[in-house]
């Protein structure tokens, strides 16, 4: 009788939460359990808030990556864009510009970077991986040029309030991330634009024949990524009290790992924002745990690389299972005819 009840509960849980998301939740529980056993301070409200704060920048970039990867694109420039945006915002307020004007200019710089990436992908047909690698080097260079290689201190109170303000004991940066995840998650799941993103990721030629404009959609997605990343750079520099040209190296790889762990297919056309937020929390819980148990930096890099490999392997297995299910469905359809 007890076994029957437990199986019924399990089936109900599986019906509410898809299998791949359930695996992520279980993995998160395991990660928390392991690091709590190694450091009792890991499972505390303070550390939980710290994980969310650290995840806020990755989460913002992961929003953009969710859209881009579903659309069959990629972006390797967010780390450089975030660093440049922080330096630009800090430089502008240090020159006496009002905070809001500095934010607008910085976000417009993010728009221009997004247009540049889209231009390379759409007009001169460079693969997104290579195009955004070009942007990564160029924008990081501009970040160093802008501040002559030195961090730019921030003393503007309005600027610092972005990183220091708390609501219900949780920093504003976390609330911004959560609100944007909900908004962009609803857009992706419930709107025509969201369906268009899935369509061009599934089959760009078929989407074009259906009346969609893939180049226009890809441009919107790269611009969206530029703006969100610029916002993240402003928030990060506010938290650090300075714009730092060397900051956020490999930020894009953490975001990509989180997105792919969350179930977004690297080949495009599959994924959702719920999986992305689970992936973001999992990877940041993992990264924070490594730091708290004093794993050497070099071994942390090895562990993160292994986590990315695991994410890509999981994506390959999910893709193979989807293809197998489609093949079986087509065989049944032919047999019934």
| Position 156 in a domain | yes
Residue 318, domain extent: 22-336
What per-residue confidence (pLDDT) applies to 250?
85
Whether 84 is in a domain gets the answer yes
Span 237-257, average pLDDT: 90
The runs of H, that is alpha helices, within 45-191 are 45-70, 78-94, 99-122, 128-147, 157-164, 172-190
- What's the mean per-residue pLDDT of the chain? 87
- Structural domain includes residue 13: no
Would strands 170-171 and 166-167 be described as parallel, antiparallel, or unpaired? antiparallel
Distance of CA 36 to the CA centre of its chain: 26
Cβ atoms of 65 and 229 closer than 8 Å: no
Q: Is residue 54 part of a domain?
A: yes
CATH code of the domain covering residue 313: 1.10.3470
Q: Does residue 182 carry a pLDDT above 90? A: yes
Instruction: Determine, yes or no, domain membership for 99.
Output: yes
Whole-prediction pTM value?
0.88
pLDDT of residue 330: 64
Question: How does residue 9 score in pLDDT terms, banded at 50, 70 and 90?
Answer: very low
Count of domains in the chain? 1
- As a dihedral over the C-alpha atoms of residue 268, residue 272, residue 278, residue 280, rounded to 10 degrees, the angle is 50
The pLDDT of residue 17 is: 61
Count of helices and strands (H, E) across the chain: 14, 4
Q: Is residue 10 a part of any domain in this protein?
A: no
For residues 103 and 295, which has the higher predicted lDDT (pLDDT)? 103
Q: Is residue 134 part of a domain?
A: yes
Give me the helix-helix angle, 297-336 and 273-292, nearest 10°: 150
Q: What is the secondary structure of 176-200 as a DSSP string?
A: HHHHHHHHHHHHHHHSHHHHHHHHH
Q: Would residue 68 count as lying in a domain?
A: yes
Which helix (H) or strand (E) segment holds residue 312: the answer is: helix 297-336
């Amino acid at each position: 009788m007890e076994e029957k009840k437990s199986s019924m509960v399990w089936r109900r849980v599986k019906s509410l939460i898809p299998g791949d998301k359930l695996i992520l939740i279980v993995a998160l529980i395991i990660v928390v359990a392991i690091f709590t056993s190694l450091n009792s301070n890991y499972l505390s409200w303070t550390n939980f808030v710290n994980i969310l704060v650290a995840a806020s920048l990755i989460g913002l970039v992961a929003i953009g990556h969710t859209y881009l990867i579903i659309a069959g694109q990629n972006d390797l420039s967010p780390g450089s864009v975030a660093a440049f945006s922080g330096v630009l915002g800090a430089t502008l307020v240090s020159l006496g510009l009002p905070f809001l004007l500095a934010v607008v200019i910085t976000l417009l710089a993010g728009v221009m970077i997004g247009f540049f990436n889209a231009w390379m992908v759409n007009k001169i047909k460079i693969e997104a991986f290579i195009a955004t690698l070009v942007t990564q080097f160029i924008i990081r260079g501009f970040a160093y040029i802008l501040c002559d290689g030195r961090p730019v201190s921030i003393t503007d109170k309005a600027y610092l309030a972005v990183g220091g303000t708390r609501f219900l004991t949780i920093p504003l940066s976390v609330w911004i991330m959560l609100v944007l995840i909900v908004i962009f998650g609803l857009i992706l799941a419930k709107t025509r634009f969201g369906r268009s993103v899935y369509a061009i990721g599934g089959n760009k030629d078929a989407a074009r024949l259906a009346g969609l404009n893939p180049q226009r959609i890809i441009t919107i997605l790269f611009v969206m990524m530029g703006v969100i990343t610029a916002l993240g750079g402003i928030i990060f520099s506010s938290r650090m009290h300075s714009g730092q040209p060397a900051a956020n190296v490999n930020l894009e790889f953490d975001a990509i790992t989180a997105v792919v762990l969350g179930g977004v297919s690297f080949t495009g056309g599959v994924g959702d924002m719920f999986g992305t937020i689970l992936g973001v929390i999992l990877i940041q819980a993992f990264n924070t745990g490594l730091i708290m148990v004093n794993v050497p930096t070099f071994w942390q890099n090895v562990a993160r690389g292994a986590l990315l490999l695991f994410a890509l392997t999981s994506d390959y297995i999910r893709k193979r299972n989807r293809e197998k299910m489609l093949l079986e469905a087509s065989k049944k359809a032919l047999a019934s005819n």
